[in-house]
Structure 1
């Protein structure tokens, strides 16, 4: 654990980092919609205007990140440099390669790691995919294996390589994330929970995983993710061990954050859900914007075949899940009256049918409005990060506001947990 000023800083190793939704949430100090937080929330640094706030910096510091997508590295590095990071922190390689290199004697992973984060690949567990799970025939780079057979290095088993990183660096706590569909895929959830617990010679208490709905945490999106949290036993104090190993974990020791917004649950004490209008209302139309991430968008035509993506978002409700593998099927910001569009006032004002822009997708995912997702080359010809790449990494990400809630809950329990 490092020292910065008079505060202890918890060192974070991030795996399957993507464009940094989980990392940003743990770092904090980013712009968020005011309605995502109570007005008296102590986690708010300052109010920027009537609609936006700046969140406080958390005591987590990312010291290592990795992903196989070059687009993700570009986006992550561009934004995270404001925290003083450079591209050397981000390793654009497969976790399989990195673990093998470490075991061969290379110094890949930093020492003195407090937290490991990892949203291991979800396509093989998703209800939107083929749900191959452990039988995935794609390798660690997502490509079809030549022998058409699953292996220990297949995309469906990359969580186990995350477990091996945990073996190596022995963090005090780890947080792993995947799609909700995983919990309904046979005994996959139980196998993963047991494998994670076996890290460091059965050295971890892995709490029963929970499915968190992003809408219940101030995210204007119907996104559900299963979260695994594991804590190293020999770092815990006796009271914490007793509490975390009990059948009913006392609330004061539960690391999962409590809902803040009444999206899928009925509770008058919670805030109203954040809507798509709340996060999109300040944006200009693409033809009027100077923001590269707002200026271009998918031109895929409307299809009346009922396939996914052929609906417009509801401005007074939360949005559907922002997907990565959209292939031109990203939802519409608005449909024409001919195609059943409901945003009558906008249509009457001459606004045209179009799909969501990368910026709008990012705002729905709660990325801050100053996060660049579409970037031109310095020559002005072509893109370092194109709109198609932007859609991909945004759809793969954990909403930063959801991650922020997880991070601040864990941070609040740190001294209660650890010796």
Structure 2
């Protein structure tokens, strides 16, 4: 079995996907205390170091790893400094959030793993006119004792069974002395899993409704729902946020694929402290009603207010967001559901939105495992990819 170290693990999306593919995580680390709680609930057997990675020494890692061989290091260093949403991204070469990338490289230098997988946002490719990605690739090519053969590609989550059109940069490196070339998983779906296919079997609750544990109101209607419910007997994390009647009336007026800007004159946001005047601040992503028969847009950390249920007049629940990220129903999220500005730790919504979709991570891991164990070979036939093929969970 191939051993992994999971850095910047968040709540464990990559850990889960790599685990499905048969990788054995021997250590995980993240700075967020609520991610640690969620990780411990779902991976009680994996040691977790909570804190700033730059504050941990190799001795602390070695004590946990206990002389086990490290085959792959995976993770997604914090990406805010690289994000397309950051309008100053071409002026952030000194952003301390980007420095954590070098902590990722440092850990590779410690253990010389056979391979690494790094995930990040598409904005990474355009930062400083492409100079940042060149620097990153150069660092990886010269990391460790042997250096790494490095390949970079943008992958779309919906191509791998995730009901979401999320795109992410994936960087894969394989140690040069192994004589292998990194490969990316082949596209698995011609048309993606839709929002309705992903969430229609969950309890249909209105704003302010839901309980900590709920029963399924119906049998799974498709293979995706069967996979999501494979090990679950109850529905967790499915409590709808409370909304004012003014907000519910706004939601009622928004059609599928439309958002707040489409109903602004009647239902636009009002100024704080002055409810008789419309706010002059407009956001196109606020209150977008999802289209039932298409994959969802990117489920970001702010998805609690970005999206409206395709049929119901409310925002998504944490569980619905988890379904759209491909987290199965037995994966339980800890910490506060939503977050006030003064509260510490990431909310359940933020943990879900920040995660790597497990099904996409699984496909990346499966391809990497094949290359490491069997070398560069022909890909699977097209027929093997076009039908839904849930991961065989290896335990």
TM-score range, shorter chain: 0.7 to 0.9
Instruction: Tell me, yes or no, if structure 1 residue 319 matches structure 2 residue 319.
Output: no
Instruction: Tell me, yes or no, if structure 1 residue 228 matches structure 2 residue 228.
Output: no
- 1:277-296 mapped onto 2 (5 Å cutoff): 277-286=196-205, 287=209, 290=214, 291-296=235-240
From the superposition, tell whether residues 134 and 19 of structure 1 become closer, same or farther in structure 2 (CA, over 3 Å). farther
Match of 1:40 in 2: none
Give the alignment's Cα RMSD to 1 decimal: 2.4
Match of 1:13 in 2: 5
Instruction: Tell me, yes or no, if structure 1 residue 183 matches structure 2 residue 102.
Output: no
Match of 2:285 in 1: 308
- 8 Å contact from structure 2 (residues 17, 362) kept in 1: yes
- 8 Å contact from structure 1 (residues 102, 108) kept in 2: no
2:77 aligned to 115, 120, 124, which one?
120
Instruction: Tell me, yes or no, if structure 1 residue 260 matches structure 2 residue 218.
Output: no
Structure with greater contact order relative to length (CA < 8 Å, sep ≥ 6): 2
Distance 1:390 1:415 in 2: 37
From the superposition, tell whether residues 131 and 61 of structure 1 become closer, same or farther in structure 2 (CA, over 3 Å). farther
From the superposition, tell whether residues 20 and 400 of structure 1 become closer, same or farther in structure 2 (CA, over 3 Å). same
1:73 aligned to 29, 36, 52, which one?
36
Match of 2:356 in 1: 398
Matched residue of 2:288: which SS?
Answer: coil
Deviations 1:146-179, CA, capped at 9 Å, x for gaps: xxxx37xx11121111000000011111000100
Deviations 1:219-272, CA, capped at 9 Å, x for gaps: 1111101011111122x1xxx44xx3xxxxxxxxx521000112xxxxxxxxx3
**1:385, distance to aligned residue in structure 2 (A):** 3.9
Match of 2:149 in 1: 205
Matched residue of 1:13: which SS?
Answer: strand
- 8 Å contact from structure 2 (residues 155, 167) kept in 1: yes
Matched residue of 1:199: which SS?
Answer: coil
Deviations 1:168-224, CA, capped at 9 Å, x for gaps: 0111110001001111122111111111111114521112x0000111111111110
Distance 2:321 2:236 in 1: 14
Residue ranges of structure 1 left out of the alignment (5+ in a row): 1-8, 29-57, 137-149, 245-253, 263-271, 335-342, 344-350, 376-383
Counting matched residue pairs gives 308
Match of 1:219 in 2: 162
Distance 1:414 1:105 in 2: 24
From the superposition, tell whether residues 298 and 91 of structure 1 become closer, same or farther in structure 2 (CA, over 3 Å). farther
Distance 1:330 1:170 in 2: 41
Match of 1:38 in 2: none
Distance 2:338 2:305 in 1: 14
Matched residue of 2:306: which SS?
Answer: coil
**1:130, distance to aligned residue in structure 2 (A):** 3.5
Match of 1:157 in 2: 99
**1:417, distance to aligned residue in structure 2 (A):** 3.4
Instruction: Tell me, yes or no, if structure 1 residue 331 matches structure 2 residue 289.
Output: no
TM-score by length of 2: 0.72
1:60 aligned to 23, 30, 49, which one?
23
Distance 1:70 1:104 in 2: 19
- 8 Å contact from structure 1 (residues 134, 157) kept in 2: no
Match of 1:3 in 2: none
Distance 1:65 1:106 in 2: 13
From the superposition, tell whether residues 365 and 133 of structure 1 become closer, same or farther in structure 2 (CA, over 3 Å). farther
**1:61, distance to aligned residue in structure 2 (A):** 0.6
- 8 Å contact from structure 1 (residues 296, 387) kept in 2: no
Distance 2:175 2:187 in 1: 26
- 8 Å contact from structure 2 (residues 112, 145) kept in 1: no
Match of 2:374 in 1: 416
Distance 1:330 1:155 in 2: 25
Distance 2:146 2:242 in 1: 48
TM-score by length of 1: 0.68
**1:285, distance to aligned residue in structure 2 (A):** 2.4
